[in-house]
Chain A
Amino acid sequence: MIRLSINGLEASFEKGTTLLEAARFLGFPIPTLCHMEGLSPYGACRLCVVEIGEGQGAKLVTSCTYPVEEGLHVRTASTRVMRARRMIIELLLASCPQSKVIQDLASEHGVRRQRFRQEHETCILCGLCVRMCEEQMAAGAIGFRGRGERRSIGTPFDITSEICRQCGGCIYVCPACQLRCTYNAPEKAICGGCANLQPPCLEKERFDDMMCYMEPCAACEIKKD
């Protein structure tokens, strides 16, 4: 057993547990996009960053890939962590604004501006679908191709894969294409529709007047009418 403290709370965990599992076990929420139970940790979305170490040696690490260490002091919601997380969400918004999952994260974390050039990607390259296909469906029909800004996910040679059984697992886990934010995107696409909703959200204590956790998003539905 390995003893460590998370947000000042001392606890011991088995060797090989990740910081994310440990923090969630203790009830500290850590947002994630590319993590899913049953799939190997990947560390692509960086949303799960936590701060470890003391003073000058303090650093941010992805909790989903970092194993518990003896005597580690972990902060899951320090100022530095929250700032990094908000920046990551802002960057995700800049590339993939139509994802409801990302818009919800933005609402929850109080991200109210998006300072980057707006793009409309359909993929955030989190690799969930690739791992789903390979590890749970034992198929390996899709994978990463290319690198840098040309990196993409798809089948080899862009032809219909012989291995694919069309199980739909890849679409099921996708945070970018599964739930569409139907809010009509302005220049800098932050939905925030739920922020001005009446009556206000019942869970407004926790989500600071945001109501994006309804499905379908109530604000989107009202806009449509």
Chain B
Amino acid sequence: MKPSAHTDSKPQQQARAGSLIAALEEIQARHGYLPQKALLELHKRTGASLVDIYGVATFYRAFSLKPRGKHLVSVCLGTACHVNRAPVVAREVERLLDIKAGDTTNDREFTLETVNCLGACALGPVVVVDGHYFPAVSPAKVSEILQSSRDGLNNVTVETDQRVFPLAVACARCNHSLMDPTHPIDGHPSIRVTAAFDSKHGWVALSCLYGSYNVDNEYEIPEDVVVNMFCPHCHAELLGGGTCLECGAPMVPMIVRGGGIVQICSRRGCRGHMLDVSGAIFA
């Protein structure tokens, strides 16, 4: 191959790689991880070479080829945490969960990962479970943290009214909880996401009651405007939900704690939504 021919094909390759990441994000949002079957299907559908797909999927840490647990435990091993004996904490978590870093427990309750810095060095050693920061963790505290995660950090009591019940949801990509107890709506923690429309970019708090449409926001969103919603933790767009059956706007998917996916319409005023708690993602 001539050198010039190689350099010419570069922009094309980059464009393909870009759409590949979007496609993988969609699969990850739908299943919570990247199943082998889905990647083979993607290869057949798009014609992208399987080595490229696999290479990208294993390169980025945001993608996981193994099923993820319900709770994501991140132990910081950054410099400040490291000198504060974070490796001992990490070993204790590994011992209690009986898994190695990067693995998921057999009952799919916990996924353990070690990270290199969470930017909370003054709190070290830091352990983060589903977006909740636990500062100055000692090995003795680990079992307590795991137990409280098992019980649910954002536990919301289920109401008796069958049509209106609260959901605890998380970002499909980073698994961080989207629940915001500091900003209650309808007496329950709200679902906090970042919303962008026109050139505005601000937070939106949604009611976590399924069937309630109460919303609080930084910028007033006009009726009928389609907004893009982002996870406030990993800043990824909440994508891959398909389109609204009522108005055709993209649906915004979120993972329901305990299994399942809830999708809401991204158009302000549209009441299209879908709840799938068949537990398909962890089946």
Contacts and interface: CB of A to CB of B under 8 A. Distances in A.
B59 A16 contact: no
Nearest to A135: B1
B106 interface: no
B36 A140 contact: no
Given A146-B58, A146-B59, A156-B54, A140 B49 contact: yes
Nearest to B6: A40
B51 interface: yes
Contact of B1 (A38, A67, A147): A38
Contact of B54 (A40, A130, A135, A157): A157
B147 interface: no
Interface residues of B, number: 16
Nearest to A136: B1
Nearest to B60: A147
A144 interface: yes
Contacts of B52: 140, 143
Interface residues of A, number: 24
A158 to B, nearest CB: 10
A145 B54 contact: yes
Interface of B is mostly: helix
B54 A143 contact: yes
Contacts of B58: 145-147
A41 interface: yes
A153 B54 CA distance: 11
B1 A156 contact: no
Contact of B51 (A41, A135, A147, A156): A156
B3 A16 contact: yes
A140 B4 contact: no
A155 interface: yes
A144 B4 contact: no
A38 B49 CA distance: 21
B51 A157 contact: no
A156 B53 contact: yes
B36 A40 contact: no
A156 B55 CA distance: 8
Interface in A121-148: 130, 134-135, 140-147
B36 A157 contact: yes
A2 interface: no
B6 A143 contact: no
29 contacts: A16-B2, A16-B3, A16-B4, A17-B3, A18-B3, A38-B1, A39-B1, A40-B3, A40-B6, A41-B3, A130-B51, A140-B51, A140-B52, A141-B51, A142-B51, A143-B52, A144-B55, A145-B54, A145-B55, A145-B58, A146-B58, A147-B58, A147-B59, A156-B39, A156-B51, A156-B53, A156-B54, A157-B54, A161-B50
Interface string A46-70: 0000000000000000000001000
A86 to B, nearest CB: 28
Contacts of B55: 143-145
